[in-house]
Amino acid sequence: MRTLRYRIEKVRRFTGVTGRYARRYARLVTMPTTVPAYGDEAARRLASLADVTASDGALRRFLHGLPGVDAVGLDARAATLGTRSIKTSAKAYAIDLAISMVDLTTLEGADTPGKVRALGTKGVRPGDGAPPVAAICVYPDMVATARQAVAGSGVKVASVATAFPAGRAALPVKLADTRDAVAAGADEIDMVIDRGAFLSGRYMEVFEEIRAVKEACARPAGASSSDAAHLKVIFETGELQTYDNVRRASWLAMLAGADFIKTSTGKVAVNATPPVTLLMLEAVRDFHATTGVQVGVKPAGGIRTTKDAVKYLVMVNETLGERWLSADWFRFGASSLLNDLLMQRQKLSTGRYSGPDYVTVD
């Protein structure tokens, strides 16, 4: 254990930014502004962590060697950030930024092609000059329909996969699910981890599954690696029981190659919360400080109001800096949030609140 911790600390000293000072210097670190193919430096730093994932025992020692989470301090920090306010002049910018970060979602058994087309139209043109959303998120069988609905707009198509939401299926089934979505044109894949395996301590099994799904995100032969669908890894944090487990899951997913880490499916009682999202943001900050690799974050479920969205944007800015304030690196997984953002946007421009009839019911 001592040797492994020494090796990790040596890597952190090499980066010049330790976890203790990462928040202070986050805005001074040079970061890419688009989702990267790893540069030489990042690849070298990642290679220095190869021993961590060389065996189940090494991965377990690394994950359990991460600093324990101060739950009281985390809750207090999240609560403090939640009290920050922004000026009216900045609120309009924040609302449009939040709209541009929304993954507009429909994941119901009653979904129809007509509903998905309507959602795509709304995502491309939310109304009143508002910017388009980041993506439309659907089940794999609706990807082709969603892609037609947003064609030429720049709005991405995201698809859940890997036996969403429970993740209870054999690996070949999960990989087929992913490949089907990618073949249909999905730009992004939202996978769920096997929480049973994770909570049982079978970390290498979860790691290898994420790696396998990442490989399944590749396009057919002939396409460039940059055309691969981006991978978001969902933890279902409401089922992970402890903050320490959320931190371990975050590092595990990032080591396995996640482009984004995501809180929840939106299908359980406890979804995204400010403390859990803050913890994941801090894990992303420390991972970037150690490896030079930038990873995105997506809180999902339970974020319904403009006030909530602004609190999360403040949290991102305070923890990671302005370079993460982009749909390339931060998303909201939501369905009802967009309507409230649009109503608040109209209030700022006209001085009047609109009723719920002003916006479409998704």
Q: Report how far residue 248's alpha carbon sits from residue 170's, in angstroms, rounded to the nearest whole number.
A: 23
Q: How confident is the model at residue 334 (pLDDT cuts 50, 70, 90)?
A: confident
Alpha-helix residue ranges (DSSP H) falling in the chain: 2-15, 22-25, 40-47, 56-65, 71-81, 88-100, 113-124, 143-149, 171-183, 195-199, 203-216, 243-256, 274-291, 306-320, 337-350
pLDDT at 30 over 60: no
Rounded to an integer, the average pLDDT of 98-109 is: 96
* Annotation marks residue 311 as catalytic: no
Cα angle at 152 between 150 and 157, to 5 degrees? 40
Q: Is 190 a catalytic residue?
A: yes
The catalytic position among 177, 190, 286, 340 is: 190
Task: Tell me the pLDDT band of 114, cut-offs 50, 70 and 90.
Answer: very high
Burial class (CB in 10 A: 0-12, 13-18, 19+), 184: middle
DSSP 3-state of 334: strand
Q: Is residue 210 one of the residues assigned to a domain?
A: yes
Residue 357, in any domain of the structure: no
What pLDDT does 22 receive? Answer: 37
Residue in the block written with tokens 């990462």: 22
pLDDT at 27: 35
CB 46 within 8 A of CB 291: yes
pLDDT band at 349 (very low <50, low <70, confident <90, very high): confident
Structural domain harbouring 244: 2-27+37-351
What is the pLDDT at residue 221? 61
Report residue 159: phi and psi, to 5°.
-135, 135
Model pLDDT, residue 226: 58
* Total residue count of the chain as it appears in this document: 362
Domain count, the chain: 1
Q: What percentage of the chain carries pLDDT values higher than 90?
A: 73
- Any idea what the CATH number is for the domain that residue 47 is in? 3.20.20.70
Q: What is the mean pLDDT of residues 3-23?
A: 39
> Does 361 fall in a domain?
no
More confident residue, 251 or 87: 251
What three-state secondary structure class fits 333?
A: strand
Q: Between 66 and 225, where is the model more confident?
A: 66
Burial of 187 (C-beta count, 10 Å sphere; 0-12/13-18/19+)? buried
Query: Does 272 fall in a domain?
Result: yes
In-domain check, residue 294 = yes
Helix 2-15, helix 40-47: angle, nearest 10:
160
| Backbone torsions φ then ψ of 57, nearest 5 degrees | -65, -45
pLDDT tens digit string along 289-309?
999 999 999 999 999 999 999
Which structure tokens are listed for 226?
A: 């940059």
pTM: 0.85
CB 46 within 8 A of CB 293: yes
Q: Does a structural domain hold residue 360? A: no
Active site residue 262: yes
pLDDT at res. 29: 30
Given 298, 308, 328, 340, the catalytic residue:
298
Segment of 31-35, 43-47, 191-195 carrying the highest mean pLDDT: 191-195
Residue 32 lies in a domain: no
Residue 180 has pLDDT above 60, yes or no: yes
Tell me the sheet residues that pair with 137.
Answer: 105, 158
pLDDT tens track for 238-292? 999 999 999 999 999 999 999 999 999 989 988 999 999 999 999 999 999 999 9
Task: State the pLDDT at residue 42.
Answer: 67
User: Is a pLDDT exceeding 70 seen at residue 11?
Assistant: no
Q: What average pLDDT does the chain have?
A: 86
Which of 122, 214, 232, 262 is an active site residue? 262
